[in-house]
Chain A
Amino acid sequence: MTFSLVLEQLLNGVQLGVMLFLMAAGLTLIFGVMGLINLAHGSLYMVGAFACAVVAAATGSFWLGLAASLAFAAAAGALMEVVVIRRLYGRDHLDQVLATFALILIFSEGTRWVFGSFPLYLDIPQLLQGAVPLPGGTAYPLYRLAIIVTGGLVAIGLTLLISRTRLGMRIRAGESDREMIAALGVDIRTLYTLVFALGSALAGLAGAMVGALQSVQVGMGEPILILAFVVIVIGGIGSIKGALIGALLVGVVDTMGRFLLPQIVGLFMSSAQAGPVGGAIASMLIYLLMAAILAIKPRGLFPAQA
């Protein structure tokens, strides 16, 4: 186990964390402003990936595909908000869970209807192929580094958007008192649609970027959606800062756990047994982390003001 191997795994963990942040930021924003739990957020991730794969295959340009993923996911999100989600704001969480669960079924089967069950593939763009040398002798894929940088830029942009712009001011006002901001003449319905579309675009972006690393297929959003839930529960629902820190924590702990635990377990038992045992413990690690954090802070690390 060399230093460069550890560094490589650490970067993989950060990359996973950045992806999770893009998902979790949308979820936590939507919950914070509208008080809505959206299970179908993973479907928007899938929409982004499919849009990118289809447009990239048709035009030959990954960058057009990436733009399409943002546009399509935002449009799908806005449509979803106007047709269904808008009716759910006043309802209890059970209704929201069920309605958005129904949306998952509709989106997944609808996509399978159009594209079939076979995965699509998306190539890494020419510009970002290749690798960057790491200190210690190995090399790290440039594309993964680009994802990390993109995620960092989005995090900065989102923070600036929320703390410095008029839209961000309205979003924060909507979080703290929606009746009052509506009474002051802000069109709250449009604001909600905008926030939903923004969250959707971030999910779509994440889907498109991951699509080039893995295959693009139906159901790809569900595992990452549940991880994103873990992230916002750890970070504190409604908090962007919590989402960022929670996402990095989950990404790094999950990746390092899968890498290190089989080796640690291997110190105590034979290597044939250590792999499966370590793997099984590693697969539960982030949930144990979540349980431990909740046992100490039931409202997450950075609870938003209720």
Chain B
Amino acid sequence: MISREFLINGVLALLLLAVPFIASAVGQPFTITLATRIAILALAATGLNIALGLGGLVSFGHAAFFGVGGYVAGILSSHAFSGDPMIFGFEGSKQMLLIWLTAAIVAGLLGLLIGVISLRTSGVYFIMITLAFAQMVYYFAISWPAYGGEDGLSIVVRNQFPGVNTMRPLTFFGVAYGALIVGLGLFAMIRDSRFGAALQAVRQNEVRVASVGISPLPIRLTAFVLSAMMTALAGCLYADLNRFVSPSMLSWHMSGELIVLIILGGTGRLFGPVAGAMLYVVIESALGGITERWQFFLGLILLATVLFARGGVIGLLAGKARHG
């Protein structure tokens, strides 16, 4: 039997796919940008969902990975554009696939470093330490002048994806949407794998997992690194969408927003980040059209969600999750 959640997921996926084409047909190009933003933010939050939803690791520092992805895209692209070689005579690149690979490696290494130290702790300590490390990266980006410092870095021409013209909004949406679907597929694969089972078991009861001979730390660390890599990939796309990367991508508000997306949608759900990103971007653009102070109302909505609607959107639509 097809579950209600599966049905809702399908509807959400098709809805997100259909909106830009309809928007393009009726001549609303800005809506395509909004849909692309939704897809990218959803991908970033799906990355975080590996650590937070499956592993119960409340990382308040994922903006570091998101921003690092953005900076990798910006830096490689700017070197390719200007022709100045980087270190080791590497010339930079404007190929998205190469940029993504680089970003995933860089963010993975950063995630490994942050994870090794942060995962020694748990609970509130973990939240604060991930936050502090993200701030460290943020302040580094601000005070390092080579790549724009506080002003950020422009990407003059959007990076290239083999075979298509990414400067066309609809095509770029296709790339972002494709990345999101692949990301969701990876999330589902991880969730249903032996590794995923161990990860979720560690979240539910660390002592029992340890007592059957599985060491929790390597499992958590792997999840944290995978999570960092996926969020960084979304960061590359986000930089390409805006054709601009700045320290604000690294700020702690960004980390907060990523968590908000997951909670609005529903923690640990496959499509939670998608539903959350849709709701967030729609709230932002709808309220933003009415009042300059939309964040005030976003705060109220968020507060109400946390206090009264704990399952998020998917929880409201599909009923309680089967597992706690």
A residues near B (Cβ < 8 Å) are 31, 37, 84, 87, 93-95, 97-99, 101-106, 108-110, 112-113, 222, 226, 229-230, 232-233, 237, 276, 279-280, 282-284, 287-288, 290-291, 294-295, 298-299
Contacts and interface: CB of A to CB of B under 8 A. Distances in A.
10 contacts: A94-B52, A94-B259, A109-B299, A110-B296, A232-B128, A233-B128, A276-B144, A276-B145, A288-B136, A295-B120
B274 interface: no
A84 to B, nearest CB: 7
A162 B121 CA distance: 28
Nearest to A228: B128
B242 interface: no
Closest 6 CB pairs of A and B: A105-B299, A109-B296, A287-B136, A106-B299, A102-B302, A283-B139
Contacts of B6: none
Interface string B131-148: 111011001101111000
B81 to A, nearest CB: 23
Contacts of A226: 131-132, 135, 252
Interface string B260-286: 100100010000000000000000000
B60 interface: yes
Given A229-B132, A294-B129, A102 B300 contact: yes
Contacts of B145: 276
A98 B300 contact: no
Given A113-B296, A233-B125, A237-B124, A283 B252 contact: no
B303 interface: yes
**Interface centre among A37, A279, A287, by most B CB within 10 Å?**
A287
B129 A283 contact: no
**Interface centre among A101, A230, A287, by most B CB within 10 Å?**
A101
Contact of A101 (B120, B140, B260, B296): B260
A102 B299 contact: yes
A222 B123 CA distance: 21
A31 B128 CA distance: 13
A266 to B, nearest CB: 16
B139 A290 contact: no
Contacts of B123: 93
A229 to B, nearest CB: 4
Nearest to A27: B128
A290 B129 contact: yes
B256 interface: yes
B252 A222 contact: yes
A109 B129 CA distance: 27
A226 B302 CA distance: 22
A97 B128 CA distance: 10
Nearest to A237: B124
A98 B263 contact: yes
A304 to B, nearest CB: 12
Contact of A229 (B131, B136, B307): B131
Given A84-B307, A103-B303, A295-B117, A94 B58 contact: yes
A222 B254 CA distance: 14
Contacts of A290: 129, 132
B240 to A, nearest CB: 26
A97 B259 contact: yes
Nearest to A288: B136
Given A106-B296, A282-B143, A287-B133, 17 more contacts: A84-B307, A94-B58, A94-B259, A94-B263, A95-B306, A98-B260, A104-B299, A109-B295, A110-B296, A113-B293, A113-B296, A226-B135, A237-B125, A276-B143, A283-B142, A288-B136, A298-B125
B125 A283 contact: no
Nearest to B123: A93
B283 to A, nearest CB: 12
